[in-house]
Amino acid sequence: MAGYILKRLVSAIPVLLGITVIVFAIMALIPGDPATAILGSFATPENVEKLNRDLGLDKPLVAQYFIWLGNMLQGDFGQSFALNRPVIDEVLERFGATLILAGTAFLLCSLFGVMAGVVSAARQYGFADKAITFVVLLGISIPSFFLGMMMILTFAVSLRWFPVSGMWPIYGARDLGALISHLTMPALALAVVATGVIARLSRSAMLEVLRQDFIRTARAKGVPERRVIWRHALRAAMVSIIPVLGIQAGFVLSGAVYVEIVFQWPGVGRMLVDAILKRDILLVQGGVVFVAACYVMFNIAVDVAQSLLDPRIKT
């Protein structure tokens, strides 16, 4: 297992390097002068020239890339000029909020998606299967940002069950209850689409397993149907379900950008949008690379979990 993990870590290096190249190239292709955008009304020719030297923008693009990459490999993601603080400090602070939102949404979509898929497969063509399929297709068809706005209008503005936006109340205690009340709507809005995808693919995986001989043998031996479904069939189907969970984790993490904007959640997604508008290049590059690295590491963890269920994968 240690050799397999090391192999996956080594294979992640070219992926991360490719991400850095793509992020750097995209930021370099954005029209306009970053120094002028940063300085605003103070963008005199002398100030622009000085800031370009400070940012290293007066050097060739290849040299800029390798300087930036070398600094990152040493743990220096640079300084945010818009916020006047180290990029890594801002990213880590915002990533905590994103992790709470995306982690909660991922737990919800994994739990409800797998449960819905199992029940749908166990009751194939029955009322439960048709009802779940209808709800799943409806959920997949609704974008998270639109659902979030409808939830704000219904549950925050009209019914006043939940706060409209933010992570904490402006006044009052910042305790677990306050966090849950602010987290409920954005987490549900973010989880809906992923729940539908997981449910559909979990249903397919379960149907395939339920047709196999060892399930027929278990039923022939008189094993209770509940045990056959939830213990034997689901365990075998998890080999196919776990990669789906890994893909949806990336979807949830990327979809958090839209939800954070709608609900004014102080996470990495909202930070990146603000940084792009302000042309804060180092903050955008550092934030994207950090999130991409976390996603790659999570996929490695998913592969390891899958290999524990099915040792044949390591070969």
DSSP string, 246-280: HHHHHHHHHHHHHHHHHHT--SHHHHHHHHHHTT-
Q: What is the pLDDT along the chain (315 residues), one digit of tens a residue?
A: 677 778 877 888 888 889 889 888 888 777 766 677 666 666 777 777 777 777 677 778 888 888 888 888 888 888 887 787 888 888 988 988 999 999 999 999 999 999 999 999 988 888 988 999 899 888 888 888 888 899 999 998 898 889 888 888 877 778 888 889 999 999 999 999 889 899 999 999 999 998 888 888 888 888 888 888 888 888 888 888 888 888 888 888 878 888 888 898 888 888 888 888 877 888 888 888 888 888 888 878 877 777 776 665 555
Burial 84-122, CB ≥16 within 10 A → b, else e: eebbbebbeebbebbbbbbebbbebbbebbbbbbbbbbb
Q: What is the pLDDT of residue 302?
A: 76
Q: Is pTM beyond 0.85 here?
A: no
Q: What is the pLDDT of residue 188?
A: 92
Check: CB of residue 200 under 8 Å from CB of residue 118.
no
Q: What is the pLDDT of residue 104?
A: 93
Check: CB of residue 218 under 8 Å from CB of residue 129.
no
Q: What is the pLDDT of residue 173?
A: 76
Q: What is the pLDDT of residue 304?
A: 78
